Amino acid sequence: MNQLLFLIWLFLMAKSLLFWLYVWQLKEYHIGRVQDHFGTRAGRSIILNQLVAGKLVLLVIVAVAPALSFLVFFLYSAEAVRIILRKGRVLRPALTIKTLILGTVGAVLVLWYGSEVSAFSHAALWLLFFDLLSPAIFSVLVLAAQPLAVAGRNRILRAAAKKRAKLSHLKVVGITGSYGKTSTKEFASWIIGTKFRVAKTSRHQNSEVGVSYAILRNLKETDEVLVAEMGAYGRGGVKLLCDIARPQIGVLTGISSQHLATFGSQKLITKTKFEIVSSLPKGGTAILNKDSALVAAEDPEHYNPKLGRVVWCSTRGKADFVASDVRADRHKVSFQLSDGAHRVSCEVPVLGKHSVENLVLAAAVARELGMSMEEIAKALTSMPPELSQLHLRKGIKNLTLIDSTYSANVVGVIADLEYLKLWEDRERFVVMPSLIELGSESEKAHEMIGEKIAEVCQGAVICSRDGYPGILKGAKRKGMGADRILLRESVSSIEEAIDALTDPGDAVLLEGRVPSGLAERLSIESST
């Protein structure tokens, strides 16, 4: 029995190792983000649940009465069968050199430990002991490797900075903000790419390593412009990215309370985002979103008195670059674009009125690089719909699925719900998890989302527990019944809830990081 127990234990430890590497990679090996995640109910339930409690009790039983070690075998067998029969993929990290090394070291450690204790008379006890400590063991393994990882990271950063320094002809556009970074980067790259040779950071790769890899792998000597998305989880993060890429044009898309838990204060978030301005060279250009109250409240020259130009952009009022007469339907947006001296009509096949904020910022970048307003309008008209963060899918039951299943923030959720209003001829629903890393603003933000859900939707399925009370409170305040705001956390229970709430032809918004595989199980194909 010991040999079979050992094999089952190896299977369970392999799954555990992959999961913990996945978590650390997902949080970009940032200990503050990992701590914040395990401060949520969903995070705590990973390490404090009935299975773990049962194993702790069994550990005590087997320690006192070794003859009952066979119970460990039965428990592990049941756990392994449950994993095999459970629908859905095993969570595992993306394959990188770092995860390959950590995975290999972790696997060697597991094999060594398991083979050593399997010869013991109380093998089941020691296997169970390692199992219970595996979250800490694998996390310590990741943290122990950080000095080597940092050394490797610094080597990559130096190589990228060195390559960038040699390309004196290169124009670099740095884009940062609490939201809208990826859309603005994609829009700007498309517009500029109709006239110039353009390189860009890979989708959602906005860390110092992501930007460095873009320079080392994506950027060619013949490229004329690099568009770099820049993210940060602490003060100095944007400055570090600017030190590598050396942008002459800096774009600030907007500031919100996103990542407040890791930054600590709204003031610190603002200062960090404005590092894009303070890092610009003498004569550089800052392109700022005036529609973001926290951006508009700041004086960019306070951060950098040597700026050459400050271009304020807006969709709501007076600014240097303005979109007016903004209209949206289910498949496109249209507006009048003006730089003060010229005015053009634009019709863009992207989804959501909120996309216009990002389109104006992107157009301002292109204008700064010398493109005419007519060239910009022509590029906008030919923009591929897939550049939008929202996508339409044809769903089961003839549902219209509105797919916005990447990361979510308060501004984005409200904007996507506003787009959902366009489907006014049918019942409308949203499926979304609670938002993370909002710190002290979490309750207020979720209540605001609940109010918007009640305004737009006939029902909602919330798939994580932490923000659910706030969403429920906000929705009830606006008159929606509690029976229309459902908490469902597993894929199967979410599917059942959607089936019960919806009729054929209804519209369902999938917002944020919904459980893995849900979008695929609800959809038939992508819609054009």
> HSE of 371 in the Cβ direction (CA atoms, 13 Å)?
24
Look at residue 204 and tell me whether its pLDDT is greater than 80: no
Among candidate residues 369, 387, 405, the one where a domain is terminated = 387
Q: How far apart are CA 114 and CA 131, in angstroms?
A: 11
Residues with Cβ within 8 Å of 175's Cβ and at least 6 positions away in sequence, in order, are: 181, 184, 185, 188, 227, 228, 229, 230, 250, 251, 253, 276, 361
Look at residue 411 and tell me whether its pLDDT is greater than 90: no
Longest dimension (CA), the chain: 87
pLDDT in tens, 205-261: 888 989 999 999 999 999 999 999 998 877 899 999 999 999 999 999 999 876 665
Residue 151 in domain? no
Residue keyed to tokens 């060697």: 108
> What is the model's pLDDT at position 428?
97
Q: How far apart are CA 417 and CA 229, in angstroms?
A: 25
pLDDT in tens, 429-470: 999 999 877 777 888 999 999 999 999 999 999 998 889 999
Question: What are 85-90's contacts with CB under 8 Å, separation 24+?
Answer: 87/491, 87/492, 87/517, 88/491, 88/515, 88/516, 88/517, 89/516, 89/517, 90/15, 90/18, 90/19
Both structure tokens of 527 = 């819609």
More confident residue, 302 or 118: 302
Residues 6-22, mean pLDDT to the nearest whole number: 94
Q: Are 238 and 273 in contact (CB under 8 A)?
A: yes
Residue 150 in domain? no
pTM of the model: 0.81
Q: Which domain holds residue 319?
A: 157-387
204 and 274 fall within a common domain: yes
| Count of beta carbons in the 10 Å neighbourhood of residue 100 | 12
Question: What are 58-67's contacts with CB under 8 Å, separation 24+?
Answer: 58/128, 59/125, 59/128, 59/129, 59/132, 62/122, 62/124, 62/125, 62/128, 63/125, 66/121, 66/122, 66/125
Look at residue 526 and tell me whether its pLDDT is greater than 60: no
179 and 258 fall within a common domain: yes
Q: In what order do the strands lie in the sheet with 249-252?
A: 198-200, 225-229, 171-176, 249-252, 285-289, 309-314, 321-328, 333-338, 343-348
Residue 149 in domain? no
Q: Are 362 and 184 in contact (CB under 8 A)?
A: yes
Quick one: pLDDT band at residue 283, thresholds 50, 70, 90?
very high
Quick one: pLDDT band at residue 517, thresholds 50, 70, 90?
confident
| Count of beta carbons in the 10 Å neighbourhood of residue 126 | 16
pLDDT in tens, 353-379: 999 999 999 999 999 999 999 999 999
400 and 383 fall within a common domain: no
pLDDT in tens, 94-129: 888 889 999 999 999 999 999 998 877 789 999 999
CA 92 to chain CA centroid, nearest Å: 17
47 and 71 fall within a common domain: yes
CATH number at residue 432: 3.90.190.20
CA distances from 348 to 272, 283, 364, 388 (A): 32, 32, 16, 10
> What is the model's pLDDT at position 103?
95
Residue 345 in domain? yes
Across-strand partners of 344? 337
The total number of structural domains that make up the chain: 3
Among candidate residues 327, 356, 387, the one where a domain is terminated = 387
Amino acid occupying residue 126: W
Both structure tokens of 272 = 């960090």
60 CB burial (10 A radius; 0-12, 13-18, 19+): exposed
The DSSP output letter for 119 is T
Look at residue 528 and tell me whether its pLDDT is greater than 70: no
326 and 399 fall within a common domain: no
The DSSP output letter for 159 is H
107 and 195 fall within a common domain: no
204 and 289 fall within a common domain: yes
Short-list 390, 413, 405, CA closest to 471: 413
CATH number at residue 209: 3.40.1190.10
Quick one: pLDDT band at residue 262, thresholds 50, 70, 90?
low
Q: What does the mean pLDDT of the chain come to?
A: 91
Q: How far apart are CA 256 and CA 294, in angstroms?
A: 7
Residue 179 in domain? yes
Both structure tokens of 359 = 């389109």
Both structure tokens of 16 = 């555990």
Among candidate residues 79, 112, 144, the one where a domain is terminated = 144
Look at residue 311 and tell me whether its pLDDT is greater than 90: yes
> What is the model's pLDDT at position 325?
95
Please provide the distance, in angstroms rounded to a whole number, between the alpha carbons at the two ends of the chain. 56
CA distances from 324 to 50, 156, 178, 223, 344 (A): 56, 44, 24, 33, 11
139 and 66 fall within a common domain: yes
Residues 74-83, mean pLDDT to the nearest whole number: 91
360 and 440 fall within a common domain: no
Both structure tokens of 437 = 């890393």
Short-list 242, 14, 2, 230, CA closest to 109: 14
| Count of beta carbons in the 10 Å neighbourhood of residue 106 | 23
Look at residue 87 and tell me whether its pLDDT is greater than 70: no
132 and 269 fall within a common domain: no
Residues 147-166, mean pLDDT to the nearest whole number: 92
Residue 241 in domain? yes
119 and 170 fall within a common domain: no
> What is the model's pLDDT at position 527?
46
Residue 353 in domain? yes
> What is the model's pLDDT at position 495?
93
> What is the model's pLDDT at position 36?
74
Residues 183-210, mean pLDDT to the nearest whole number: 93
32 and 121 fall within a common domain: yes
Q: In what order do the strands lie in the sheet with 391-395?
A: 485-487, 459-462, 428-432, 507-511, 400-404, 391-395, 523-526
Q: How far apart are CA 437 and CA 32, in angstroms?
A: 10
Residue 124 in domain? yes
Short-list 402, 508, 468, 517, CA closest to 42: 468
